[in-house]
Amino acid sequence: MTRFARDTPASHARTHLGVSPLVVLGGLIVVYLALPLGAFVVRFATTPQRGFSVPGLFPSLWMSVSCATISLALVTVLGVPLAFVLARSHGRLAKIIGVIVQVPLALPPLMSGIVLIYIIGPYTFLGRLFHRDLTNSRAGIIIAMTFVAAPFLIVAARAAFVTLDQGLLDVAHTLGHSELSRFVRVAVPIAGPSIRAGMLLTWLRAFGEYGAVVVLAYNPTSLPIYTYNQFSGVGLATTLAPTALAVAVAIIAVLLSRLTFAPRRHAPMAAPATIAPPDLTTQSISFDIAARAGSFRLNLAHDEVSHLAVLGPSGSGKSLLLRSLAGLGDFSGDLWCNGESFNLLRVSQRPVGYVAQGFSLFPHLSVWQQLLFPRHATPQLAAYWCDRLQLRGLESRRPSELSGGQRQRVALAQALCNSPRVLLLDEPFSALDSPVRQELRRLLRRLQRETSLSTVLVTHDPEEATLLAEELMVIRNGHAIQAGSVREIFAHPASAGVASLVGMTNLFEAVVLSNNVIDVYGTALFSPTVLPTGTALHCSVRPEHVRVNRASPTDRSTALKALAGTISDIADLGTAHLVFVTLHGDVEVQCRSMTPLSFTVGDPCEVSFDDGGLMTWPNDHRDDHHEDSIAETSRL
C-alpha cells in the first residue's frame, strides 16, 4: 500500500532546507536562555563553598516565598474581577484604568518603590494611621510586590475575558444566574488557563522583586536583598546558595503551574426517576419591542400567537428581537404571555428559554452538568428531558466530544430544564447538515404539539419556518414588512422583497407594455393584471407553474403565453427535475417537473405559465436593496 506524507509548510521547509527556519529561530533563543543556567550549574557543582551555612539564607527564602504568595492571593481576589469588568467595558474610564494598570510594567522597580513612599511612607497620612508599620516590614514587602506584579495577572486575565463568548454569559443569564454566578461558574473556568498563566507570572515577578522592596522595606530581608548583600559584601562564592534556591523555587513553580488534572466526568450515579414538567394550558405571546444596537433601531410588535417564525435578511434585527424578548441588551417595551406581563422581571427571572445562535454550551461542563445548570433544574427534570431528547449515554461527555446534532439537543434540553413558558430559538439548526436538521425539526415540532410551550423562531430557511410556525413575520431594517399566517404570506407575498425572502425564484424586473402585456428584459409576457402602460413592476412565477414543451410555430397572440427559449441546464434532484430555460437576452426561467423531460441542453423549447401563476408587484423603492438579488436570480 502506498503511503503519502502529510503535505505541510513545515515539511516543505525541512525538505528544501534540511531544517525548518522556525526550528533555527526558536533554537537560538533556547540556547541564549540555557547557556547562563548551564554555566551556573557547572560552577555550583565544582565549588565546595556555596554559602548554605551563611546565617539568614533560609529565613530570607521563606520571607520571599510567603510574601509572594500573599501578594498573589491579593492580586487574584481583586485583580481577576477587575480584569473581567475591564474586558466588558468600552468607555473612556475603562481605557484610563487599563493604562493605569499597565504603568507599573513600564516603571523601573526602583521608581515604583519611590512612588509608593509618597502614599505609605512613615510621614504620610496612611503611614501615621498604621503607626509607620507599612514600611520596613513584611507589610511593606507585600505592598511593593503587589504593586509591581499585579499587572501580569490583570493583563493576562483581561485578554482571556475579552475572547470569552458573550453568548455564553447571555445564556447563563437567561438560565437564572446573577452576574456574580456567571463570573464564578462560567467566565473564570473558561478563562482558567490564561488566569493560571497570569498567576504564575505574578508570583514569579513578586518572588524576584528587588528594586521596590529595597526602597520600601529593606528590613526584613527578602531573598533578592540577601543575595545582593552577599554579593556586595563577600563576593560570588556565597551567592551560589541563594541563586540555586531561587532557580529551584522557580522550576517548582513552573512545574506546579503545568500540572493538569483529568476533569471529573459528572454524570448521575444512578438514573433518577423522571418527572415531567407541569402541564400548562397553551400559551399565547404578544410583544411590543423597541431596541437598539449602536445606530441600528428595531421596532416590532405582534399579538396573540403561539408559534411565530421571523424571517429576514442578515442584519434585519432578528437576533436583536430575540435578545430583547429575553431581556438582554438595550431595549424598551414588553412581552406578554397569556396576558401576563414580563416587563418588570429581570433577565434571570423571565420564564423564557433562550437557545442562542450556534452551539452555546459551556465547554467545561459535562452534558449532565449542562442540564442541571439552570436555576430551576432538578435531577428528575433533567432525566426527563435527557430521555425525551435522546441524550441517554452522553451524560458524562463534554461539548467537544459531541456531534453537532447532539450539541443542539443538549442546548435545547438545557433551556427546557429551566421550565420556560416561551422558547426563543435563534437559527437553531443552521449549522447542521441536512439529515440532522430534518430530524431535529421533527423533534421540535413534536415538542410543540405535545407541550404548551410557545416558540419564537428566527431563521433564514422558509421551509423551517413553515414547519415550526403557524404565523410568520418578515422584517427588514428593524421593521415588519409583512406579518400573517404561513399560508397567507407564501400565497400572497406583499412585495418582491418578501417573495425573495420566502424562497420564491423566477423574480424579474418588468415594465407594462399594454393591457395584460409586460416586458421582462426585452421579452413580452402575458400578465393577468391590468396596469397603466409604463408602470415599473417586479414579477415572479413559481417553478411549479412553469411548463416546458417542444418548440412549435406560434403566432403573435400565443407567443405571449408560449415563449421561445433554449434549454440551458437540467438538474436531477432525485424526486424532481429542475429545468433552466434561457429566453431572450439573459432572462432565465426555472421549471420544476415531477416527471423526467425528454430534453437535452441546447434544445429549443417553449415556455408557458399556468393561469394565475404570474404574480406582479409595483416597483417599491423600499425593495431597492433586493434588486441586485432579483436580477441575479433571473440569471441563475
Residues 382, 407, single domain; the answer is yes
Residues 503, 483, single domain; the answer is no
Q: Do 608 and 559 touch, CB atoms closer than 8 A?
A: no
Q: What is the CATH number of the domain that holds 453?
A: 3.40.50.300
> What amino acid occupies position 270?
A
In Å, how far from its chain's centre is CA 390?
A: 25
Residue 48 lies in a domain: no
Residues 351, 253, single domain; the answer is no
Residue where one domain finishes, among candidates 471, 489, 507: 489
- CA distances 383 to 370, 372, 394, 399, Å, are 12, 10, 12, 18
Q: What is the CATH number of the domain that holds 600?
A: 2.40.50.140
- Among 58, 345, 108, 99, CA closest to 214: 108
At 38-93, the pLDDT tens digits run 999 999 888 888 889 899 999 999 999 999 999 999 999 999 999 999 999 988 99
Residues 140, 175, single domain; the answer is yes
Residues 297, 428, single domain; the answer is yes
Residues 328, 474, single domain; the answer is yes
C-alpha to C-alpha distance for 202 and 220, rounded to whole angstroms: 21
Report helix, strand or coil for 492: coil
Residue 369 lies in a domain: yes
Q: Dihedral of CA 59/60/65/66: which sign?
A: positive
Q: What is the CATH number of the domain that holds 186?
A: 1.10.3720.10
Residues 295, 325, single domain; the answer is yes
Residue 241 lies in a domain: yes
Residues 332, 251, single domain; the answer is no
Residue where one domain finishes, among candidates 258, 293, 313: 258
C-alpha to C-alpha distance for 607 and 605, rounded to whole angstroms: 7
Q: Do 598 and 554 touch, CB atoms closer than 8 A?
A: no
Residue 47 lies in a domain: no
Residue 26 lies in a domain: no
Residue 264 lies in a domain: no
- CA distances 134 to 314, 376, 599, Å, are 60, 49, 94
Domain of residue 547, residue span: 493-633
Residue 168 lies in a domain: yes
Residues 210, 146, single domain; the answer is yes
Q: Do 614 and 539 touch, CB atoms closer than 8 A?
A: yes
> What amino acid occupies position 461?
D
Residues 244, 352, single domain; the answer is no
Residue 275 lies in a domain: no
Residue 596: cis peptide before it, omega within 30 degrees of 0: no
Residues 84, 229, single domain; the answer is yes
Which parts of the chain sit beneath pLDDT 70?
1-18, 261-271, 278-281, 359, 553-561, 585, 620-636
Residue where one domain finishes, among candidates 433, 465, 489: 489
Which position has the grid cell 424562497?
Answer: 503
Entry pTM: 0.80
Residues 500, 473, single domain; the answer is no
Task: Count structural domains, the chain.
Answer: 3
- pLDDT value of position 625: 45
